[in-house]
Structures are given as structure tokens and as C-alpha cells.
Amino acid sequence: MIWGHHYFCKDDGNVLQYNPSDPHHHICPLCKKDYSSPLLDGVWIYLYRNEAALTILKASIIYKLTNEKKYLDVVISLASFYILSFKQFELHNKEGLFFDTIESMKWGCGRIMPQNLNESIFFIRIFTGLELVKDELPADLMDVIKTEFSEEFLNLLAPQINKVHNISCWMNSAIGVVGLFAENKKLISFAFDGEFNINRQLMEGVTEDGFWYEGSIHYNFFTLEGATYLALFAKTYNQEFRELGTVKKMLISAYDYAFSNQQLPNPNDGWPHINLKSYSYIYSVGTKVFGYESKVGEILAQILAADYERGEVPLSKPYYFNNRLSLEQFLLLPDFNFNVQVVPNKVSMDYEKSNYALLKSDNLDVFYKYGHHGPSHAHPDKMTIEVVFGKETLTKDLSNSGYGSIMCNKWHRITASHNTVVVDGMNHTSVEPGIKLSFSKTSCDAKANQVYEDVDFRRKIDLLENGFLDEFEVQSKQDRNYDFIFHTEAELDMNLEATCEVEKNCTLGFTENGYSYFENIIKVKPVDGSTKLNLFWKLGDLKLSSIMDIENTEVFLAKSPANPVSSFRTSIILRRKAKHTTYLMEWETI
């Protein structure tokens, strides 16, 4: 069994096309390259089994709607195969190592799926389906679930829950779901009261702002997915869930964290192109738990009524009909009314405990990340920003594609792919928190010390009437090479040669840490010798200008890969050699 994160095109980072009828050909839908290898065949098996779990859930729903026995037979047949033969699957981890016994296995093991995480997701989906038809399951299958399977499932996962982490949350959630279904007090006690139980995970792993500590909005929702399913089962079986309020707070905080157009800031590991609709299935479960009239229900109505395309998550993904109606919404909220007026959330948010700020005005949002909570799923991107003008994205974080993609570690997890300052062509080294200096609804000022050894950063963002002012200060004890990098989705909309000297076929001098991915590099200099450079851009239907202070500065424009890497964006690189300097850049609509 092979980890799903290998299922990506090596050339453009796009997820390969899974064909349930063909386990040996794996085609990139973007560049059409046809991959064939035992590694990818192993991922195909993982995807096929995930499809089996979803089939159990879908067949259970159809049976409840139609009362046609053939659908119940599908549920029983598939579920029985995986439950009755559970111990016959070899213990293994995603690295491809196999183990003879629980005692000898390494952390990360599963039996049916590539690792403990996928095993947990797999069985939560299966038991959600079984819950719908529980009264009609064969007695012998129920007996095995309540005794042999429950014990073996606990034996597999319990030794691997040894820290506060998103995977530990999933394992606790799976043990709790199986335990509640089987009415097995041993599993229930472990999930809710064990040493690293789900309550402790949420109490210690969620910041005061309501975000999962790993600093990724995808992993925030990913953790929520398992927790909301456990909350649903806890509600069904009247089981106390002490940190249920934290689950609710996370759902509300994630909504407030989104841009006004419901797209999501996306720092650190995750998936590209995500928005609130990407996770409407989780809000559907949350609405079932907390009620139609709850704040969570109000948020779901706003998400479903908004007019934009849902961003799809490529791996272990839930089922959506026409990429719009989630299986969870169909199952849990059949009469949910979302005929509401969509009201953009225009409130600026200060997430100091999470090292974030989100500034919003009538026509502009700026997300600002100034620190970390440790290395887990972190990118070296101190002081990065993302900017949205209305519905148009000026600049965004690429997040990353699958961990098995070559682009993940060579570009997406590199400082140079973010909107920050690179020193001497090297990645940032600090994963420590930053320090907020001031915050208002239109401004945030923060600093980060020792981003590199002896290099401190300070960045202040101010919203203007039609744009924003970006002030970035860098200080070191000795002269260093500073590259202020800003990547934009906008297209240059001017005759550059009319106002600037343009030198083509340039190089940036560095070749490591992502610099080799900059292409078509040009160097520009105002012909009038001005210390200000004004560039004009087109972004959708908008016209923008960017004004930069370029005294003692080399100005480069280049193309760099987006995500997938078959598309490109424009990168502005402002280079200075100094001990102490401050970059000034102002963007406005015109």
C-alpha cells in the first residue's frame, strides 16, 4: 500500500487522474503524460479502497431512500470484507516497511491503508455508513465488530497516539466512532479520557484564536473533519465531549479568517486553490451537531449561497455531486435552507496568538503572517502576505502540491516562492513566533527576530483608500544581500521600454533554494534616473499601479512557477546590499 502523496505529475505537480478501471496507467490531466510504475499502482490501490469506503456510505444512503435490498447487500459485502479480514492485512507504513507484530511496528502503521491516518479516515467513513443501517446488519457481523474488530482496531492505533498532532486527532476520532458504534466502553474511554485523548488534543493544539497550531488552514479543517464526525457520533450516543466548544470556535474562526470573497489565505502545507466551499461538507456535519439556527448553521448558509466555484482537494476527498452538493449535506441536512443574502465578511481580524492578521476594507483584503508555531507543516515564509482586490487575487501563497511531488520541496516549501525577503539566497531558518507591535482595522505592524542568525525583520501593512502601503525593514550586523520578492497574478500593462532601460537575459547569481526556477529575468531602470519606479498592471477588469522606492536598488522582473507549475506569475525582485534597509511598495487601483 503506497502513500497517496506520490500521485502527482513530476513535471507540473498536478494530481494524476485516477481511473478505477485501469490500475496501471496514471495520466496527468494537464500535460497528458502517461505514468506507469509499481509505485503508482500501489497508490491506485489506496484510492480504490478509499472509493470502497465512500461506496459503503453512498449505498447506505440509497438503501435508506429506496429500501432496495441490493444496496444493503453492497454495504454488508464491502464492510464485511474489510472488517472480517482486518487482521489478515499486513502491518505496514507509508515508507513501505512491513512488520510481523504490533509490538515490533514503527509509528505510522496501518493495515488496509498506507498509514494510521488513512486507516482512521477509511473506517470513520465506513462506520458512518454502517450507522445508517445498523439495525439491519447481520448479527454475526455485529458480534465481530463489538469484540474482535474493536479490540484489534484499538491495538493498532492506541500505541501510536503519543503526542498532540492532527494525526492523533484522527486516530482518537476513529477509535471513538468505532467505540460508540460498538458500545465498547474501552474504546470510548480511550478516545475521550486517554493520555492523549481528543479533549487534550483540542485543548492544547488549538490556539486561543481558534486555529490548529500547525498554521495551515487546510490542516485546521483536516483536524476538524475527524473531530466533527466524532462530535456527530457523540451527539447520537449521548456521549460527553468536553471540548465541543473548541470545535465550534474553530469552525467560526475559520470563517472569519477567509477573505471577503470566501477564498482562503493559504500559508504552510496544504492544497492550492481552496476556499470555504472546499470544506462545506465539514460545516454540514458541524451544523448537524450544533443546530440549523447556530452560528455554524448561519455560516454554512452564507457559504452555500455564495457565487463562486468550489476549490477541490485532490486526495482522500469527500464526495460532492457536480462539485456542489456534499454527501454530508444531502445526508444530514435534507431540508436545510440557504436562500439567504450573502453578506461579505468585512471585519479585520487580529489573530495574535496564531501570528496572523487579516486587514479588510470595502475593496481590499490583506492577509499577513508574521510567525510560526514550530516546524510541523511550516514553510520558511516569515512576514509573507496575500492580497485580494475585490474578487481578484493580486498575490497568493502557493501552499504546495503532494509531498511526493518534486516541486513540493524544491519550490513550494522554499522562501523564494513567498512574498518576503530572502537573505544571501538562503531559506529562512526560524520557526519561532513573531511579535505584533500594533494592530488596527486598517494597519498591522509586526517584527520577527533572528529570522536568520543576526537578521531581524519588521513589516508594516497599511490599508489606503484604494490600495495598501507595504513597509519592510531588514536589519543585520553586517552587509548582506537582501532580495525583497513579491509575486503577482497581475499582468504588466505598459510599454516598459518607453520609461525604463531594460536589460534582458539576466541572472540572479544564486542557483539553489528555488532561484533556478526564475525564468525570463530582466533588469529595469528608469531612464530619468528616478529613485521611484511606477509600474502599471491589469488584474481581471482592474487597473493597478505599483510604486516602489528603488534608491540603491537593482530591480528585476521574472516569471516563476505557480501551482501547478505549468502556469506562471510575475515576480518582482528588489535587490540591495546593506546592513539596514527599508523597502517601500505601494499598490493602488487607478
Read off the pLDDT of residues 237-258 as tens digits, 9 standing for 90 and up: 999 999 999 999 999 999 999 9
Residue 407 has phi, psi (to 5 degrees) of -75, -20
Q: Which of 407, 363, 365 is nearest to 563 (CA)?
A: 407
Close Cβ partners of 180 (under 8 Å, ≥ 6 residues apart) = 188, 233, 234, 236, 237, 239
Burial of 279 (0-12, 13-18, 19+ CB in 10 A): buried
User: Across the beta sheet with 392-395, what order do the strands follow?
Assistant: 349-351, 356-360, 364-369, 384-389, 392-395
Residue of higher predicted confidence among 565 and 188: 188
Q: Distance between CA 189 and CA 336 in Å, rounded?
A: 34
Q: Are 58 and 34 in contact (CB under 8 A)?
A: no
- Is the confidence at residue 325, as pLDDT, over 80? yes
Which cell numbers in the block locate residue 306? 455564495
pTM (2 d.p.): 0.95
- 106-124 pLDDT per residue, tens: 999 999 999 999 999 999 9
Q: Is the dihedral of CA 324, 275, 294, 62 positive or negative?
A: positive
353-589 maps to CATH 1.10.3470.10: no
- 15-34 pLDDT per residue, tens: 899 999 999 999 999 889 99
Residue span(s) of the chain under CATH 2.70.98.70 come to 353-589
Q: Distance between CA 111 and CA 128 in Å, rounded?
A: 20
* Cα–Cα–Cα angle for 504, 505, 508, rounded to 5 degrees: 110
Question: Which residue type is seen at 214?
Answer: E
* Cα–Cα–Cα angle for 2, 170, 177, rounded to 5 degrees: 115
For residue 101, the tally of other CB atoms under 10 A from its CB is 7
Q: Are 85 and 60 in contact (CB under 8 A)?
A: no
- Is the confidence at residue 568, as pLDDT, over 90? yes
pLDDT, the chain, mean: 96
- Is the confidence at residue 565, as pLDDT, over 90? no
Q: Are 371 and 434 in contact (CB under 8 A)?
A: yes
Question: Which residue type is seen at 47?
Answer: L
- Is the confidence at residue 316, as pLDDT, over 90? no
